[in-house]
Chains A and B, each alone.
Chain A
């Protein structure tokens, strides 16, 4: 006669076993268990995890069962005269040897999966992944026979700071109650149409594009502090270490095109939680077309057309500022980790324009260089914006040509 408890346990078990298979987004994935992921490797890791989990659960239940039995059967009221035994060589040898053999049984599949995981040979695409505070830089180095692809871009968090910088004292970002039903700055309905809230903290401006069906090798490094490149669905996690290059790989099956999300997994400073990873896996032909397009664009060289007027430059500069600068210098230029920009001499003294450009291009102290990350036109746009926003009045319009690379 199955009890209610039995039914509940069975239901939980089913959820645990099936959770996360081919989940399109997080609402369809287990909130309790590891996801199986989409690669053969990640599914091997998942099976290993489930095997070990069940063995540990069995051992736990055995031990807890004995303790519970003892608590009820051997309490003083039921067993007033205690036994006096205090050793049993046979028993002690048995419970040392048996765990040892269980461990050997578990070590064999673990070793097999680990050897597979560490084999980064024969990759068809090589992507260099560089972590920096607090964004990822992806560079396509080699694809099939082309060893000089030369395509690269930065990937920043796209969730608007206005969405997360809302202290609870001023109304709070999220309402009390289940976040699954109602969420968002404007208490928007939680649906995939609101990427800012639906994929809160997991949306980026430029996704890492990967082909399906081909082995991809990641070369992972960092510019400043440690980061860690983690994509759970591929079972890829490798630390990004400044000055060293680590390797990892993924082969996403043909039927697994789609979007996969990961996050930085090694504490890297203030905005550690704010540098997600988004991967878009596309069919091979689509990937090849995309890569050709990117190559053509980078061969053309940067867009150097001058701005027509200050308004055009400011309109282009504002979103770039909010994306790349506001995290340190504040959305209103009020400062933060970085120095304030509003009302400062550097921003308002027209003799210091060249210095301003130089800091953006080459960096200074903790301020990183943006030479690789922004085009001359984008740098010019940001400079125009910051010198004329927040009450600043920093002189004439700067053109892309003024930004000497």
Chain B
């Protein structure tokens, strides 16, 4: 039966263009997100080059704003989100014993929309650099607050709006696919409370996506009609309200940050038990904590807006709700520590990433708790302290968990072990540089440096220099990963991986050969 399928698989470009196979589409997503990670990283390096010393050094302040804007958009929508969708594509069917995703054609479409969306967005940057008169790319921050993006937005804002619509469609389709797959295609005996935690976190993430991506689509559409069709949603002169934009945006935006971190929780919850040789501590409480975080994420959006002038009661409500989120988040961290506790630990590269995730994500979580306190947030708001906070949860948080996932499952995907030396190099260089890059941002932020500043006062000079050095170092370190991936994926060089790869890991993915064949679980496994 399975041979029959194999013979019909197209080859070459067609294999990838027309693929409905969850593994191929997963690989496409992962490579796409890695390329976007490098593109967004280059933009970050332009930012850090400009900020190396005070004084406008290399770019115009407006181009600086374009870089901060497109860097944010590319990293959020092009790197982190597609990376987790790619991981879901590869791993969810393997983890629940399903032959593929439930909606394979939609799966193909949801991927192939993305390159078009990002070509559109990035073309505005290309035009800004090369076209006559340098028409600016989107330059209003990734949060595109009105009226800077509506009435005052450059012509390229319309490119941005269309590309965000496309990304949204792609995300919603991906999310529907995950939900339908998990609900309908679990192997016999795989009850909900037996699902690997990665599947659980993704299931909850998918619901968040379906709720909030249409809200984002609404926000960009309102900006579009304000720009071209005479509406005044965000223009006080026409009876609208610029603050309304922020409410709508952050009603999307706050669940969005959990969309980027919940799958990371799932990844780490898979890796730590394997290398602690001990089952995950508190599986049920992990599931409930993830659910609570997801529900609370809809009740905290206005903590991004403590300076807009809200009623006292509103500020108190959002402060208390935000503080509350630290309880389920804390439960997760304690569970990971308890999983390691009295285990039999070894420190292969994926475990190193996972442990540094727990530590550094906790730093980001604690600075998040500090930001919850409204009066203190009045001083932190829109300073580099906020930049430090969200980079700690996104880079050594979400992205480190992706690195952990790549090293953990790469042998299953390619059939060969990763290059240990360059894997270690990648880890240690990234670990040291990421802290040099982001930790001093807490200092300059507390000392009063506002974010999105193309130039700064002298008291911030020394730390900004070291931050930039950290950025270059971190950027170069990622080339080690590129080499690890090329070696394993294309050159197929390296130690041959066994079916189990690690020491008795838990999960159905370790019951299929390495590399995983094109089609797996044509006959569902029985879970006892």
Contact = CB atoms under 8 A, between A and B. Distances in A.
A7 interface: no
A267 B145 contact: yes
Contacts of B469: none
B362 interface: yes
B378 A237 contact: yes
A340 to B, nearest CB: 11
Interface in B88-140: 139-140
B333 interface: yes
A65 to B, nearest CB: 10
B342 A71 contact: no
B152 A224 contact: yes
Contacts of B60: 270
Given A31-B462, A32-B443, A71-B355, A86 B307 contact: no
A110 B53 contact: no
A52 B369 contact: yes
Contacts of A26: 457-459
A83 B339 CA distance: 10
A100 interface: yes
A67 interface: yes
Given A92-B285, A265-B382, A67 B458 contact: no
Interface in A181-222: 183, 190, 197-202
B383 interface: yes
Interface in A36-89: 44-45, 48-49, 52-53, 56, 59-60, 63-64, 66-67, 70-71, 74-76, 79-88
Interface residues of A, number: 105
B152 A225 contact: yes
B503 to A, nearest CB: 9
A363 interface: no
A92 B53 contact: no
A180 B458 contact: yes
A79 B307 contact: no
Given A114-B315, A166-B56, A167-B58, A75 B346 contact: yes
Interface stretch (A271-279, A295-303, A379-387): A271-279
B408 to A, nearest CB: 18
A200 B458 contact: yes
Contacts of B53: 168, 172-174, 176, 179
A230 interface: yes
A236 B326 CA distance: 27
B221 interface: no
Contact of B345 (A74, A86, A247): A74
B375 interface: yes
Contacts of B346: 75-76
Contacts of B344: 74-76, 79-82
B13 interface: no
A15 to B, nearest CB: 12
Interface of B: 53-58, 60-62, 65, 139-141, 145, 147-148, 151-152, 235-237, 241-243, 276-285, 307-309, 312, 315-316, 319-320, 323-324, 326-327, 330-331, 333-334, 337-347, 355, 358-359, 362-363, 366-367, 369-370, 373-376, 378-379, 381-383, 443-444, 446-448, 450, 452-463
15 contacts: A59-B366, A67-B337, A70-B341, A91-B338, A95-B331, A111-B316, A118-B312, A173-B53, A173-B54, A190-B458, A235-B378, A266-B145, A269-B148, A270-B65, A271-B61
